Structure 1
Amino acid sequence: MDIVLFIVELLVVLACIVMGTRSSGVALGLWGGLGVAILVFVFRLPPGSPPIDALLIVITVVVASSVMQVAGGIDWMVSVAAKIISAHPKQITLIAPLVAFLFSVGAGTSNILYPLLPVIQDLSYRNDIRPSRPLSLSVVATGVALACSPVSAAMAAMVTLTEVPPYNFELVDILKVTIPAAVVGIVISSFVIRRLGKDIADDPEIQAKIASGELAAPGASSDAKQAEVTVTAAGRNAAIIFFLGVFAIVAFGLFKGIRPLDAEGAAVSMTPIIEVVMFVVGTLILLISRPKMAEVPTTTVFRAGMVSAVALFGLAWLTDTFLSHYTKEISSSIGGLVTSAPWIFAIGVFLVCVLTTSQSTATRTIVPIGLAAGIPLGLLSGMWAGAFAGIYLLPTNGSQIAAANFDVTGSTKLGTKLIDHSFFVPTLVLAVSTIVVGAIFGLLWG
C-alpha cells in the first residue's frame, strides 16, 4: 500500500464529510457524491457499492410513517405518552426519558418528542422538580432510541451491513443488545441527572421570576398541560397498524421458520421483509384510516426521512468506495489497535454523530471500519447504540432548541460556549453508561 496515496485519499474523504457537515442536510449527500467522483476519476479507485438496500428500507419506512402521521397516528401516540408521564409526576426524571425512548423506538423517529416537551416542563415544575433535568435527558434518550428501533434509518443502515455473510448478525441479534443497554443506561443516567443543576428553591434566576410575578410558584397550577394534539379514531387505528407492523418485523427476525424462502431454499433475509411489511402497513393505514395522501410529502417525518436518505446515499457510497479498496490494509493495521482498544470505535461513532447529527451517516461511515477490524458484533452493537447520544453534544438540534424554548423557567439553556448547555452532561452520561452496559451485554449475548 502506498501510504502517501492512502493518506491523500483519506483526506479527500474527511474533507468531503467536513464540508457536508458544515452545510448539513442534503448537502451531506452531495459532498459525498463529489468525493466518490474524485476517488473514481482522479485516483482511479473502483466505485464502491451504493447502499441500495439501506435506502429502500429507509424509503419504505418513511412512507409508512408519513402516512401514519397524516392519519393522526403520531398524535395518538403523543396523547398516550402524555398520560403515562402524567401518572407518575414525582418520578418524571426517570419516566419521561423512558417514555420518550419507548415511543421513539416504536415510531422510528424522535419527532414524537416535540409535543411532549411542554407536558414534561409543566409537570416537572408543578412538582418542584427542575425542568431541565427531565427535559434534557428525554431529548438525549431519543438519540439512543434509534439504535433500538426496527424501523429507524440508522437500523436500516446497520442491518444491511451485519446480516450478510460472513457476519450473519441479524436484526434481533442487534436488538437484544441495544434495547436492554439503552434502558439500563437511561435508568443510570436519571440518577445522575436528577442531581444536576440547582433545585428550584435554590435557583436565584427562577426565584427572581417568581418574585416578579413572571412565573407562578411551583404547584400553583391546578391542571397539567395536555399535549397539543388532536386525537382521533383514525389516528389510533393508524398507530396500532404501524405498531403491529413493527411487531411483525421483530417476529420474523426471531423466528426464521415463518419467513418465506428464497430461490436457494434459505430463509429470506430481513432487508426485503422490512420493506414488504412497511409497504403493507402503509397500504392498510390508507385503506382503514383514509389519510389525505396529498399531505404525505409535506409531513415532518417525510421531509426528515428523505433528507436522511440523500445524506446516507452520498456519504455511504463515499466511505464504501474508500474502505472496500483498503479493507485488508485497514484490517491488518487498524484492526489490531481497535481490537485491543474497542472504545476507539465508540469514540469514532460518537464523533461522527456530533459532526453530522445523523446516526445513519455515522453507522455507514464507522461501522464498516469496526467490522473490518474484527470487533465482536455483540460488543460493536452495544457501543454503537451508546455512541448515538453524540448527536446532542452540541446545542444545534431542533429538539434541543424546542426544549429550551418550552422551558418557561429558563432552567434549560443552550449556552454560549458549546459546552455550557443543559444537554452536554446528559449526553456524556448517557453515552458512557450505555456504551459500558452495551459492551457488557454484547460480550455476554452477542
Structure 2
Amino acid sequence: MDTVMFILELLVVLGAIVMGTRSSGVGLGLWGGTGVAVLVFVFQQPVGTPPVDALLIVLSVVVASSMMQVAGGIDWMVTVAAKLIAKNPKRITFIAPLVSFLFSVGAGTSNILYPLLPVIQDLSYRNGIRPSRPLSLSVVATGVALACSPVSAAMAAMVTLTSVAPYNFELIDIVKITFPAALIGIIVAAFFVNRLGKDIKNDPEIQAKIKAGTIPAPDASAAGATPQLTSTKQGRNAALIFFAGVIVIVVLGLFKGLRPLTSEGDPLSMTPIIEIVMMVVGTVILLVARPKVSEVPTTSVFKAGMVSAIALFGLAWLTDTFLSAHQAEIASTVGDLVQAAPWIFALGVFLVCVLTTSQSTATRTVVPIGLAAGMAPGLLAGMWAGAFAGIYLLPTNGSQIAAANFDTSGSTKLGTKLYDHSFFLPTLILAVTTIIPGAALGALLG
C-alpha cells in the first residue's frame, strides 16, 4: 500500500510539472501550488515548507538589479562587454561566450546577452566567421553562468538547500567549484563549436545570399559599423555599485569572521547577508544614480524575476511536501542508484531544465532528491552547474529566437525538428565539458 501511495503521489508531482511546463512562467507556480493541494487534501500528507528564504533572496536581488537597469547599468555593462569582444574578433567564438558568461555571472541574469547578440553577429560575419558558432555558444554559456553567480535566482535556491546542517555547504563552497568548471567547459566547448557548420566561403546558402545581394560579403575593414551602444555616467555608477555588492557578498562568504554573530554566537548565514547587501545596494543606487523608481516594475529584469519567484514558490513547495513525506523511501531506493551512477542526478537536472527552461525550478525540484539520496554537496554542485545548459536543448528560449533573428546570414537556425537547430550540439557539448570537470572539482574540493 505504501508503494502504491508513493507512486500515486509521484505522479501528482510529475503531472504538476508537466502541466506547469505547458503553461510556462507563472503557470509553473500555479500548478505547483495545485499539486500541494492534492497531496495535502487528497493524500493527507503534512504540508511542506515554502521556500521563503530563497524567495526573499530572489526578491532582494531583483529589486537591486532592476534599479541598476533603470539607471542604465545594464546598458553600460553591455558597452564594456561589446568592447571586450571587439578587441579580438578573429577569436570571437572563444571571446564572446566567455564575456557573455562573465557578465551574466556578475549581473545574475542572462538578459544582458540580448543587446550583445547583434554585436556578436556583426563582428563574426564581417571577419568571415560563421555567426552561428559564437552566437550559439554565447547563448548556452549564459545558462551555466547562473550556477556561478552569487546573485542569481538559481543560486538563491541552491544556497538555501545546501547551507543548512548537516551539509553546511555555503555560497563560496559552491562557487569555487562551479565557476572554474564552467570556465573550463566553455573553453573546451569552443574548440568543438568552432568547427560546427560550414565556413562562410563554403556555405552555399550564405554564398547564394551574397550573390543575390541580400547580404554583403564579409569585410573586416567595415567592422567599425558594429551597432552603436550608448551608456551614461549614472549607468556606470549603478553597475559599479551593484558589482561592489557582489564583491561584498563573496568576501563575507570567504571570511566568516567578518560576519555579524547570531544570538547563539555563530556567524550569520549567507542567506540573510545576501538579502541585506542587495537591499543596501538598491538603496545606494537610488541615492547615487537617481533612477526613476516608478519604472522598476516595467523592466525586463523585474518581470523575469517575479515570474521566476512565482514558479519557484509553487514547485519548490510541492517538492518539499512530497520529499518530506517520503524521505526514507527516497534515501533507500534512489540513494543506491545515485551513489552508483551520479550522472543520473545530472541527467535529472538537465531534463527538468529542458522541460521548464528554469534553472531555479530545476534546482528546487532535483537537488533535494540528490541530497536526500546521500550525494556529497561538492559533487552535486559540480554536476548541477553543467546540467543548466539543458534549458537550451529545445529552440524555445527567447535568447535563441533573438540570436536566430539577428543573424542576417541565416547560419543560426531554429530548425524544423527538435534536434536540428543551431543550439542543440553546443548545449550537449557544454553540458558534458562542464559536468566532467565539475564532478572532478567537486570530488576534490567538496
State the TM-score, normalizing by the size of structure 2.
0.99
Q: Which residue of 2 aligns with 1:296?
A: 296
Paired residues, number: 446
Gaps of 5+ in 1: none
Query: Is 2:34 aligned against 1:40?
Result: no
What SS class does the counterpart of residue 20 from structure 2 fall into? helix
Range moving further from structure 2, 43-52 or 325-334:
325-334
Aligned pairs for 1:319-330 (under 5 A) are 319-330=319-330
CA–CA distance in structure 2, aligned partners of residues 221 and 59 of structure 1:
46
Q: Which residue of 2 aligns with 1:5?
A: 5
Aligned pairs for 1:95-114 (under 5 A) are 95-114=95-114
Question: 1:376 deviation in Å?
Answer: 1.1
Question: 1:428 deviation in Å?
Answer: 0.1
Q: Which residue of 2 aligns with 1:266?
A: 266
Aligned pairs for 1:119-130 (under 5 A) are 119-130=119-130
Q: Which residue of 1 aligns with 2:65?
A: 65
State the TM-score, normalizing by the size of structure 1.
0.99
Aligned pairs for 1:426-437 (under 5 A) are 426-437=426-437
Aligned pairs for 1:18-37 (under 5 A) are 18-37=18-37
Tell me, yes or no, if the aligned pair for 2:394 and 2:419 is still in contact at 8 Å. Answer: yes
Tell me, yes or no, if the aligned pair for 1:115 and 1:227 is still in contact at 8 Å. Answer: no
Q: Name the aligned partner's letter for residue 328 of structure 1.
A: A
Q: Which residue of 2 aligns with 1:142?
A: 142
Tell me, yes or no, if the aligned pair for 2:128 and 2:220 is still in contact at 8 Å. Answer: no
Tell me, yes or no, if the aligned pair for 1:384 and 1:435 is still in contact at 8 Å. Answer: yes
Aligned pairs for 1:132-171 (under 5 A) are 132-171=132-171
Q: Which residue of 2 aligns with 1:355?
A: 355
Aligned pairs for 1:252-401 (under 5 A) are 252-401=252-401
Identity among equivalent pairs (%): 76
CA–CA distance in structure 1, aligned partners of residues 136 and 392 of structure 2:
10
What's the Cα RMSD here?
A: 0.8
CA–CA distance in structure 1, aligned partners of residues 269 and 177 of structure 2:
20
Q: Name the aligned partner's letter for residue 117 of structure 2.
A: L
Tell me, yes or no, if the aligned pair for 1:115 and 1:228 is still in contact at 8 Å. Answer: no
Tell me, yes or no, if the aligned pair for 2:30 and 2:311 is still in contact at 8 Å. Answer: yes
Question: 1:214 deviation in Å?
Answer: 0.9
Q: Name the aligned partner's letter for residue 185 of structure 2.
A: G
Question: 1:215 deviation in Å?
Answer: 1.1
Q: Which residue of 1 aligns with 2:203?
A: 203
Q: Which residue of 2 aligns with 1:83?
A: 83
Q: 1:267/1:225 Cα in 2 relative to 1: closer, same or farther (>3 Å)?
A: farther
Q: Name the aligned partner's letter for residue 334 of structure 2.
A: I
Q: 1:4/1:285 Cα in 2 relative to 1: closer, same or farther (>3 Å)?
A: same
CA shift digits 1:162-196 (9 cap, x unpaired): 00000000000000000000000000000000000
Gaps of 5+ in 2: none
Q: 1:220/1:213 Cα in 2 relative to 1: closer, same or farther (>3 Å)?
A: farther
Q: Which residue of 2 aligns with 1:251?
A: 251
Tell me, yes or no, if the aligned pair for 2:12 and 2:35 is still in contact at 8 Å. Answer: yes
Q: Which residue of 2 aligns with 1:419?
A: 419
CA shift digits 1:222-269 (9 cap, x unpaired): 243445543000000000000000000000000000000001010000
Tell me, yes or no, if the aligned pair for 2:45 and 2:325 is still in contact at 8 Å. Answer: yes
Q: Name the aligned partner's letter for residue 260 of structure 1.
A: P
Question: 1:220 deviation in Å?
Answer: 6.2
Tell me, yes or no, if the aligned pair for 2:54 and 2:160 is still in contact at 8 Å. Answer: yes
CA–CA distance in structure 2, aligned partners of residues 333 and 291 of structure 1:
53
Q: Name the aligned partner's letter for residue 281 of structure 1.
A: V
Q: 1:295/1:229 Cα in 2 relative to 1: closer, same or farther (>3 Å)?
A: farther
Could you list the runs of 4 or more consecutive aligned residues of structure 1 that deviate by over 2 angstroms after TM superposition? 223-230
CA–CA distance in structure 1, aligned partners of residues 293 and 221 of structure 2:
40
